[in-house]
Amino acid sequence: MKVRVHVSLKNGVLDPQGRAIHHALEGLGFAGVKDVRAGRLFELDVADDTSDDALDDMCRKLLANMVIENYRIEKVAA
Amino acid sequence: MPFTSAVITFPGSNCDRDMAVAMEEVCGGTVHRVWHGDATLPEGLDFIAVPGGFSYGDYLRSGAMAARSPIMQAVVEAAGRGVPVLGVCNGFQILTEAGLLPGALMRNAGIRFVCREVPLKVENSQSLFTQRYFKDQVITIPVAHHDGNYFADAETLDRLEGEGRVAFRYAEPVNGSQRDIAGVLNAAGNVLGMMPHPERMIEAAQGGTDGRKLFEGVLAGLNVSA
């Protein structure tokens, strides 16, 4: 089973990297970019019988830092 | 009993030797060098230091991989028994990732790596680590980090302040840290994490000796002979 885990900063947490990327886009002449938030994407290939709880656990224990980040699990059709 | 301490080394640690030399110089006794893959710590430790560097190449997040290494489970267990644990720079990041300290250390607000001496204000002079300083004393200690921007939610910050768990505060803006926090203590007071490097201010030849008192405090507080 292929699973994508999207990790992003929580609302209200300042994102210095996103801000720098935003400035860089403006510097390249792209107009109308209102905001940029940087995050991470993990692509996991896990056993088909992996439970939702186990996936949640993986995110909470390692893939995301719950102090500053949220995660979203997306199961990808084979 | 002579003073017995340990410095943990991870792949990518680079301040472990400086830390061991500082501990030997100020605390004396025996400094054990412990490798990240070890599952157990030496017996009878009085003090454990988690040093700076770029453990595991900062993969995933600074300190994230090291926090899940076998030896850190032993460090967490020792901290629970009251053994003093100091985490400096990457060591601070590791201690937050391991759940020993609240909050997280994010990319510096100015994006750039910051490497310079900074003025630090001693906020709490009652802890094991800070008892040799005066409250509100301003000391000079160098920082060298990319991810030192301390973040915790407002409720956590209020609790830390209320409980006297902010050990050090930057006396000028350095990295965007919430409330200029440079170092925090755990609830029991036996774990300190800080971004500045006290082990780099031990002898006059290093440009100052303001870091010595931190190690002297640990030694004095434990009532063991050097």
C-alpha B216/C-alpha B132 separation (Å) is 7
- Find, among B145, B147, B169, the residue nearest to B157 by Cα: B169
pLDDT grade for A12, boundaries at 50, 70 and 90: confident
CA torsion, ordered B203, B204, B206, B211, to nearest 10 deg: 50
Stretches where chain B sits below pLDDT 50 are 225-226
User: A73 vs chain B: nearest CA distance in angstroms?
Assistant: 17
What is the model's pLDDT at position B226?
46
Residue B117 annotated as catalytic: no
CB B143 within 8 A of CB B115: yes
Q: What is the mean pLDDT of chain A?
A: 95
Contact status of A13 with chain B (Cβ, < 8 Å): yes
Q: Do A67 and B60 touch (CB under 8 A)?
A: no
Q: Which of B68, B102, B151 lies nearest to residue A13, judging by beta carbons?
A: B151
Q: What is the mean pLDDT of residues A2-8?
A: 97
Q: How many CB atoms lie within 10 A of CB A51?
A: 8
User: A11 vs chain B: nearest CA distance in angstroms?
Assistant: 11
Residues in chain B: 226
What ipTM does the predicted assembly reach? 0.87
3-state percent helix, strand, coil for chain B, nearest multiple of 5: 30, 25, 45
Determine the structural domain holding residue B198 and report its residue range.
Answer: 4-222
C-alpha B54/C-alpha B56 separation (Å) is 6
The DSSP annotation for A29-77 comes to T---------EEEEEEE--TT--HHHHHHHIIIIIS-TTTEEEEEEEEP
The CATH number given to whatever domain includes residue B96 is 3.40.50.880
- Find, among B175, B83, B158, B63, the residue nearest to B120 by Cα: B175
Residue with tokens 């900062």: B58
The β-bridge relationship of strands B30-35 and B47-50 is: unpaired
Two tokens, residue B82? 């009251």
Residue B197 annotated as catalytic: yes
Question: Which residues face B85 on adjacent strands?
Answer: B48, B191
Residue B199 annotated as catalytic: yes
Test the A interface: residue of B56, B61, B100 with most A CBs within 10 Å? B61
Q: How do residues B106-129 score in pLDDT, each as one tens digit? A: 999 998 999 999 999 999 999 999
User: A65 vs chain B: nearest CA distance in angstroms?
Assistant: 8
Q: Work out how many domains chain B is built from and give that number.
A: 1
What burial class does residue A68 get, using C-beta atoms within 10 Å of its C-beta: 0-12 exposed, 13-18 middle, 19+ buried?
Answer: buried
B15, B36, B89, B123: the catalytic one is B89
C-alpha B188/C-alpha B165 separation (Å) is 9
Checking if the pLDDT of A78 tops 70, the result is no
Q: Do B104 and A68 touch (CB under 8 A)?
A: yes
What is the model's pLDDT at position B48?
98
CATH superfamily for A2-76 is Phosphoribosylformylglycinamidine synthase subunit PurS (3.30.1280.10)
Contact residues on chain B for A68, CB-CB shorter than 8 A: 104, 106, 151
CB pairs under 8 A between A and B: 34
CA torsion, ordered B218, B220, B223, B225, to nearest 10 deg: 100
C-alpha B33/C-alpha B133 separation (Å) is 28
The phi, psi pair for B90, rounded to 5°, reads: -55, -30
Domain chopping of chain A, boundaries: 2-76
